[in-house]
Amino acid sequence: MADEGKIRQMVRRIVYRTVGLAGKIPLRSSSKLVTELDIRDLPFGGEFIAPQGALITPLARQVAMDRRVAITEQSTPTTTKLAYTDPAVGAQNPVPSGSGSIAMGADHGGYELKLALKAFIGDLGYEVVDCGTDSQVSVDYPDFAYAVSKLVSESKAWRGVIIDGAGIGSCMTANKIPGVRAAMCYDQATAINSREHNDANVLTLGAGLIGANLAKQIVKTWLETDFGGGRHARRVDKITSIENRFFK
């Protein structure tokens, strides 16, 4: 059987390739990736201190949940960048944590999670604009997805977060609004990818698919991950060009 170091390096390669970080972070730097191998032998109900800016795999989080292990980041940077800025791209100017406002909306299925995330985002230092709904009475998710996305499209909100049962319908609705690039994320890897590769400005979540703790991790990662620029900027420009064919 291969030793754990080789297994960890192999997992690291796969994860980095999946989220588009291959070649940007030295594979010898095990501090940047936390896998289930780092969690599985910890005492039940213990704590794992993750290095600053670490990428924690979904399986590692699942093992931590199963073993009731709390994952705590060593320190919280102002912005989360898991890769250096390519000199060819030029200096990046990310919006720092706490700047701008976050528009939030949810249907009845996402109402409870919206309350938890609203408080959490506020604690991160952002102003939250609540677009509803205000109860668990049945409503239609497109109405709230539209309300959030319109604020982002008109630059009245820096980013948007929308929650429904699965996150899919709200994502479809949001992406009908010019200027919106909505992404449905279900773990930290998809949150990083949607920001770094696609410059997503609206996040959708499925309250029936993820719990509050994971949702908070996704939101924090998504808000603090910078757009990668470079080749990604060219591709986002093509998305915008396609959009403009129908909306101009």
User: The tokens 């008109």 sit on which residue?
Assistant: 154
Name residue 141's amino acid: Y
Please say if the pLDDT value at position 104 is more than 70: yes
What is the distance between the alpha carbons of residues 22 and 16, in angstroms, rounded to a whole number?
5
> CA dihedral in degrees (134, 172, 193, 96; nearest 10)?
-40
Instruction: Give Cα 219 to chain centroid, integer Å.
Output: 5
pLDDT of residue 79: 34
Window from 13-17, 49-53, 165-169 with minimum mean pLDDT: 13-17
Q: What share of the chain is helix, strand, coil (3-state, %, to 5)?
A: 45, 15, 40
Tokens for 134?
């205000």
pTM: 0.64
What is the distance between the alpha carbons of residues 163 and 111, in angstroms, rounded to a whole number?
8
Q: Which of 40, 81, 197, 232 is catalytic?
A: 197
Please say if the pLDDT value at position 111 is more than 90: yes
pLDDT, greater one: 134 or 248: 134
Q: pLDDT class for 69, splitting at 50, 70, 90? A: confident
Verify whether residue 108 is a known catalytic residue: no
What is the distance between the alpha carbons of residues 167 and 171, in angstroms, rounded to a whole number?
6
Exposure of 45 by Cβ count < 10 A (0-12 exposed, 13-18 middle, 19+ buried)? exposed
Across 7-24, average pLDDT: 54
Q: Would you list the DSSP string of 75-93? A: S--SSB-SSPPPTTT----
For the chain, the structural domain boundaries read 4-73, 101-233
Angle between helices 188-196 and 58-66 (to 10 degrees): 150
What is the distance between the alpha carbons of residues 90 and 92, in angstroms, rounded to a whole number?
6
Dihedrals phi, psi of 2, to nearest 5 degrees: -65, 145
Q: Give the residues across from 103 on adjacent strands.
A: 129, 160
Please say if the pLDDT value at position 13 is more than 80: no
What is the distance between the alpha carbons of residues 167 and 203, in angstroms, rounded to a whole number?
9
pLDDT of residue 77: 38
Instruction: Give Cα 223 to chain centroid, integer Å.
Output: 7
CATH number of 101-233: 3.40.1400.10
pLDDT of residue 63: 82
Q: For the chain, what's the residue count?
A: 248
Please say if the pLDDT value at position 94 is more than 70: no
Rounded percentage of the chain residues whose pLDDT exceeds 90 = 58
Residues 22-36 pLDDT 10s: 444 333 333 467 788
